[in-house]
Amino acid sequence: MANHNLPPDEVLLGELESLEQELRLSPVISGVAALVRLIRSDPSWPERLRQKNLGHWVVVPLHGDKFPALVRLKEHIEHLTVLQGLDPLTGLANRRGFDQTMVMEVERSSRFKTPLTLCIMDLDNFKAVNDTYGHPCGDEVIKTVASILLNEMRMIDTAARIGGEEFALLLPGTGLARALKLLQRIQSIIQTTRITCGDARLSMTMSMGVASYRGKLTPDPVKLLAEADKALYRAKRTGKNRIETSPILDLGYGEEQSLVHQNEKRFLFSSFSDPSSSAE
Amino acid sequence: MTEPNTTLSIAVASGKGGVGKTNLALNLCFALHDLGNSLILLDADLGLANLDVLLGLSPEKNLQDLLGDASADNVVIPLAGDGLVLLPSASGVAELVEMDEDVQSLLLGKLDALFRRYDFLILDLGAGISPTVLSFAAMPQERIVVITPEPTSLTDSYALIKVLFTQHQIKNFQVIVNMAESHKEAKNAYERLAQACGHFLNLPISLLGVVHRDPMVTESVRHQVPLLKFAPGCQAAQDIREIAKKIMDRRTRLKDLISRSPILKPLI
């Protein structure tokens, strides 16, 4: 695995010097610009730039072993981003950040007896996008979906990218019925949004699985996730672009205390049907 | 705390509407007043304002005005001089229960100063088991549950007792059987309820008294005059006076306990 220790200053300086020399030597550089991508590097960049007639841009290759210190710097930045709980591509929470938020929200829900709803979402037929239009297009789709989630959710909600094309939306203080309204809106916005990628204009759909606590029982995060996953699986299996819900996990709790049970009712009524006690 | 408390607070509740609860609460107040006690009656009936109707009143201010700069003397309505007053609540009561704890304790503080002036605080609650009713039933020191011998009244009052017991840990309930055709019938109804509470909840309850069905009750309501003033000699009036004596004795007997309990216990 990558070593996330920062390179020593003198090594980094050495690499920057050689980079500078290389830029001076380059025939296309005459006070123009260098494109330095520290965050993400891709070996296909020079070719992609040529296709776009951007060949005069210089790509600093951070995938090889030409600038090991810069590579380490880049990896370090990425690692810090992950540690922060963020997904570098979308700016949403990553799996780690999502898990941390889940712990907090489950605690909040149980402490204040408020509902909690989790939705797991998966883009339909995403692999075809990657296969047909390439990974950059796939990234564009992921980024667009992420920005739709960020736009539509409330400030207190948490949106996360928990897998390649899999997202999670955690809705504190929100029961199933209200959550569904928000999710239906997100679903329809995704469906009607055209994502431009090169010449292609893509249209995507999303399958969703929802699980919910009403705040009557302390939420079990593992179960909540498992139920939402199961619901998502049903949504996929029954035709995609659907929202499937798991039965509310604490539906049967909280009410029965206020009800008079059948046996209690029979007991209370028995004096009226029993002639020995009501006659005279 | 300042002086030890001497006010006994009692909620008058019923699981079912139409059992004559409000009228009974009002007449108990008059009976207790006749016995030399001072009382404040709080209309906690969710702005259904039955007490206003029974008395032919239309209050201008209510409990919630106490949060502003209205003084207690401007809000209460004398029913029989200064010794028996009504604190109207209009719709303010429902909001009191939903108030956050800061506002609630502020209002309860103001109310406490007012309630302390009286020997009794009687809360006339709405019927049923809505969260508001339950909260208000849980706040005072004592609870009277009004039932009638009808089966539906039994199940509804059992539901009220059960919820207050299981959700609010309330253990002291006293029952008045109202509109009884006979003492025997009333006793049967009460026994059945007491047995259910003992059997299913392991909770002892007690019988405070029986009020017989009396045509004078309807008449007094029609005339908007309290029964005890309208027909002081009728059977129902006698029954109510007997219950009032018991309640008064109870206050004397429980003096120590009352001095140690708040008049209204905050909900949170």
Residue B83 is which amino acid? G
In tens, the pLDDT along B61-106 reads 777 777 777 777 788 889 988 999 998 876 555 666 666 677 777 7
Is the domain of A160 the same as that of A114?
Answer: yes
Q: Are residues A232 and A154 in the same domain?
A: yes
Q: Can you give the pLDDT at residue A167? A: 98
pLDDT tier at B178 (50, 70, 90 boundaries)?
Answer: very high
Side chain identity at residue A20, one-letter code:
E
Mean pLDDT of B31-44: 94
Which of A138, A142, A47 is closest to A94 using CA atoms? A142
- Closest approach of A213 to chain B, Cα-based (Å): 21
The CA distance from B167 to the nearest CA of chain A, in Å, is 8
Residue A37 is predicted with a pLDDT of 45
Q: A128 and A71: one domain?
A: no
In chain B, where are the structural domains located?
8-260
Please give the residue of chain B at the shortest CA–CA distance from A277: B188
> Residue A69's pLDDT is what?
83
Domain boundary among A56, A82, A108: A82
Are A97 and A161 in a shared domain? yes
- Would you list which residues of chain B are within 8 Å, Cβ to Cβ, of chain A? 129, 151, 154-155, 158-159, 162-163, 166-167, 184, 188-189, 191-193, 195-196, 199-200
The reply to whether residue B163 touches residue A260, judged by beta carbons under 8 angstroms, is no
Residues contacting A80, CB < 8 A, separation 6+: none
A40 falls within a domain: yes
Q: Specify whether A48 is located in the same domain as A33.
A: yes
Average of per-residue pLDDT across B150-173: 92
Average pLDDT per 10 consecutive residues for chain A, totaling 280 residues: 62 76 62 45 68 69 75 78 83 93 93 95 96 92 96 96 97 95 97 92 96 91 96 96 94 66 83 47
Do the domain assignments include residue A117? yes
**Contacts with A268 from chain B: Cβ below 8 Å:** 151, 154-155, 158, 192-193, 196
Residues A147 and A231 occupy one common structural domain: yes
- Among A82, A117, A141, residue at a domain's last position: A82
Do A136 and A156 lie in one domain? The reply is: yes
Ramachandran bin of A243, using left for φ above 0, alpha for ψ from -120 to 50, beta for the remaining angles: beta
CATH of the domain at A173: 3.30.70.270
Say how far apart CA A172 and CA A154 lie, in whole Å: 10
Pair A111, A226 in one domain: yes
3-state secondary structure chain B: CCCCCCCEEEEEECCCCCCCHHHHHHHHHHHHHHCCCCEEEEEECCCCCHHHHHHCCCCCCCHHHHHCCCCHHHHCEECECECEEEECCCCHHHHHHHCCHHHHHHHHHHHHHHHCCCCEEEEEECCCCCHHHHHHHHCCCEEEEEECCCHHHHHHHHHHHHHHHHHHCCCCCEEEEEEECCHHHHHHHHHHHHHHHHHHHCCCCEEEEEEECCHHHHHHHHCCCCHHHHCCCCHHHHHHHHHHHHHHHHHHHCHHHHHHCCCCCCCC
Q: Would you place residue B216 in the very low, low, confident or very high pLDDT band (cuts 50, 70, 90)?
A: very high
Q: Let me know whether A73 and A151 are in one domain.
A: no
In a domain, A197, yes or no: yes
A271 domain-assigned: no
- Looking at the structure, tell me whether residues A20 and A113 fall in a common domain: no
Q: How far is A266 from chain B (nearest CA, A)?
A: 10
| Residue in A with minimal Cα distance to B161 | A258
Using a CB-CB cut-off of 8 Å, the residues of chain A touching B158 are 260, 264, 268
Domain that residue A93 falls in: 86-253
pLDDT at A40: 47
Q: Which residues does chain A have within 8 Å of residue B184's beta carbon, measured at their own beta carbons?
A: 280
Judging contacts by C-beta atoms under 8 Å, the chain A residues touching residue B159 are 258-260
* Active-site annotation of A, residues: 165
Q: A77 with A90, same domain?
A: no
Structural contact between residues A4 and A71, judged by C-beta atoms closer than 8 angstroms: no
Rounded to two decimals, the pTM is: 0.63
pLDDT exceeds 90 at position B134: no
pLDDT at position B106: 76
In a domain, A115, yes or no: yes
Query: Quick one: fold of B8-260?
Result: Rossmann fold (3.40.50)
Query: Which among B232, B230, B211 is positioned nearest to B20, based on CA atoms?
Result: B211
| A108 and A212 inside one domain | yes
Domain assignment present for A259: no
Number of structural domains chain A divides into: 2
Domain stop point among A39, A55, A82: A82
Residue at A238 is within a domain: yes
Is B196–A271 a contact, with Cβ atoms under 8 angstroms apart? no
| 8-state DSSP, A84 | T
Compare all CA atoms of chain A with the CA of B156 and give the residue at the minimum distance: A260
Interface test with B, best of A113, A253, A263, A264 (most B CBs within 10 A): A264
Which residue in the block uniquely carries the two structure tokens 């003992």? B198
What distance in Å separates residue B211's CA from the closest CA in chain A? Answer: 19
Q: Has residue A265 been placed in a domain?
A: no
In the prediction, which pLDDT does A30 show? Answer: 47
